[in-house]
Amino acid sequence: MKKMNLEEIQELIKFVAKSGATEVDLEMEGVKISIKSPPKKKRGEKDDPTTIIQHAAPHTIPSQVINSQIPLAETANIESGNTNENSQNKNPDAEKDENKYITIKSSMIGTFYRSPSPEKPSFVNIGDNIKKGDTICIIEAMKLFNEIESEVEGKVIKVLVDDSNPVEFEQDLFLIDPS
Amino acid sequence: MNLDFKQNIISLDTLESTNDYAKYLIKNNQIKMNTIIVCNKQTRGRGQRNRVWESVKGKNLLASFIFDKPLIDDNFLINIVSSLSLVDMLSELCINDISIKWPNDILVNNRKIAGILIENIFFGNNIKSTIVGFGINVNQIYFPDYMPKATSILLEEKNITPQQLLDHFIPLFEKRYFQAITGVDLLSQYYNLLYAKDKRIKMKINEVILDVVIVGVSKEGKLILDINGKFSEYLNSEIKYLCF
């Protein structure tokens, strides 16, 4: 990849801001860029204090394009950002990776909750490594609360349902990378 | 066959909530058999999703029944079992006008006397434990302003301690549980006890106030309403009683 000019860096910042990602680390041709922005930005706040740090990195570091472990904000509107990330990721195994993911499905009809109660943090977030037996969500049906523990272990790639939304029997809930 | 709840009762003075403590024990693999957690006072007694259940210390029966290896994984059936056993207990005390306010309150003369909070723990698709939490107003006689329609066993002029009530209740609950697993038709008994059944009442349905008649409960536990001659099934999240 060729060296980025200022304009391209600005484009990149815009892309990151739009995608909802809160942190991106980039290393190439001896240049390391890391972009950090506060999460949950409101629409239209383009002049947010998105910070950019650019400094020299040791030449020995391989020119890997974008760190694939970008922590993404867990909102549905980052779906496009996510695909984009994959396309830039020039990883020939990318498609194969998708197939390796495990989908956790709902075993019942009800309302999907990501936290034990409204003011508490989510059981799991994107990027978390979950173990067998970890509680991943609650599905409520007729005021009866079903706490669901994971049968699988791996990394949470996607949460496919928003908090407090209804789910159907067999509906996909989580995408897990078991590797 | 016996569920043996009587053999393992953990009695504590104060807990945040008996259901939360039950969950804590399950998560730490400390539950090896059916167990009852009972306490005098809950500091964070819960209704659903954090609606507070107000209770004066020592006055009420606050208990959670933990099924170590549940035989019922039907969400609504365990609710029916719990509701009917509370009705049985109140009937044995010769209390009249008992009804079940779908989906999980027990009323006497249209005032709330008991509530149920059921939580299951699933490992993937398989049920691992069931916690049935009961809050029964026993000797409390004053209720806060935001609970205007509450009553207690004492207010219904019966004298019993929470401990005696628990002793009374355990076999009734176990009996209903056995009826459920042996296929006794409990749904029709549940339906016959429904609050406001066959009466025209006002309900808020998906934010609109309508005249409805409660005409039944589906096998999955949805409330069946007659709205202008048309029958539809509703989830609890879609409807709101206006008289409570």
Q: What's the pLDDT score for residue B78?
A: 96
For residue A21, give how far its alpha carbon lies from the nearest alpha carbon of chain B (Å): 30
pLDDT (tens digit per residue) in B183-229: 999 999 999 999 999 999 999 998 999 999 999 999 889 999 999 99
Q: What's the pLDDT score for residue B185?
A: 96
Q: What's the pLDDT score for residue B145?
A: 74
Cβ–Cβ contact A122 with B under 8 A:
no
Cβ of A133 within 8 Å of Cβ of B123? The answer is yes
Residues 6+ apart with CB under 8 A from B79: A142, A144, B103, B104, B116, B118, B221
The distance in angstroms from the start CA to the end CA of chain B is: 40
Look at residue B49 and tell me whether its pLDDT is greater than 90: no
Are B32 and B117 part of one and the same domain? Answer: yes
Which residue is closest to A111 within chain B, CA to CA?
B237
Are B48 and B14 part of one and the same domain? Answer: yes
Are B204 and B183 part of one and the same domain? Answer: no
Q: How far apart are CA B94 and CA B115, in angstroms?
A: 19
For residue B157, give the CATH number of its domain.
3.30.930.10
Query: Against a cut of 0.80, is the pTM above it?
Result: no
Residue ranges in chain A whose pLDDT is less than 50:
1, 40-90
Which residue is closest to A145 within chain B, CA to CA?
B119
Cβ of A144 within 8 Å of Cβ of B75? The answer is yes
Cβ–Cβ contact B49 with A under 8 A:
yes
CA B237 to chain centre: 17
Interface test with A, best of B121, B194, B219 (most A CBs within 10 A): B121
Cβ–Cβ contact B23 with A under 8 A:
yes
The distance in angstroms from the start CA to the end CA of chain A is: 29
For residue B219, give the CATH number of its domain.
2.30.30
pLDDT (tens digit per residue) in B216-226: 999 889 999 99
Q: How many CB pairs under 8 A join A and B?
A: 68
Cβ of A143 within 8 Å of Cβ of B75? The answer is no
CA dihedral B82, B86, B88, B90 (to 10 degrees): 180
Q: What's the pLDDT score for residue B55?
A: 73
CA B38 to chain centre: 15
What is the residue range of B146's domain?
Answer: 5-192
User: Which residue shows structure tokens 């349902």?
Assistant: A161
Average pLDDT over residues B38-66: 80
Cβ of B23 within 8 Å of Cβ of A147? The answer is yes
Cβ of A149 within 8 Å of Cβ of B235? The answer is no
Nearest to B79 among A118, A144, A146 (CB): A144
Residues 122-141 (B) with a CB less than 8 A from some CB of A: 122-125, 128
Contact B190, B46 (CB under 8 A): no
In total, how many domains does chain B have?
Answer: 2
Which residue is closest to B74 within chain A, CA to CA?
A108
Of B192, B209, B231, the one marking the end of a domain is B192
Which residue is closest to A113 within chain B, CA to CA?
B49
Of B175, B192, B209, the one marking the end of a domain is B192
Average pLDDT over residues B101-126: 95
Q: What's the pLDDT score for residue A133?
A: 94
Are B145 and B225 part of one and the same domain? Answer: no
Are B19 and B69 part of one and the same domain? Answer: yes
Q: What's the pLDDT score for residue A88?
A: 46
For residue A166, give how far its alpha carbon lies from the nearest alpha carbon of chain B (Å): 10
Cβ of B75 within 8 Å of Cβ of A141? The answer is yes
Average pLDDT over residues B53-58: 76
CA dihedral B178, B179, B180, B184 (to 10 degrees): 160
Are B130 and B152 part of one and the same domain? Answer: yes
Are B35 and B117 part of one and the same domain? Answer: yes
Are B136 and B230 part of one and the same domain? Answer: no
B236 contacts on A by Cβ (under 8 Å): 142-143
For residue A37, give how far its alpha carbon lies from the nearest alpha carbon of chain B (Å): 33
Of B171, B192, B213, the one marking the end of a domain is B192
Nearest 5°: the CA angle A26, A31, A37 is 40
Nearest to A147 among B120, B124, B220 (CB): B120
Are B169 and B66 part of one and the same domain? Answer: yes
Are B113 and B86 part of one and the same domain? Answer: yes
Q: What's the pLDDT score for residue A25?
A: 66
Interface test with B, best of A107, A113, A136, A143 (most B CBs within 10 A): A143
Average pLDDT, whole number, for chain B?
92
Are B28 and B108 part of one and the same domain? Answer: yes
Are B51 and B23 part of one and the same domain? Answer: yes
Q: DSSP string of A22-89?
A: SEEEEEETTEEEEEE--SSPPTT-TT---EEEEEE--TTS----B-TTPPPPSSGGGHHHHHHHHHHT
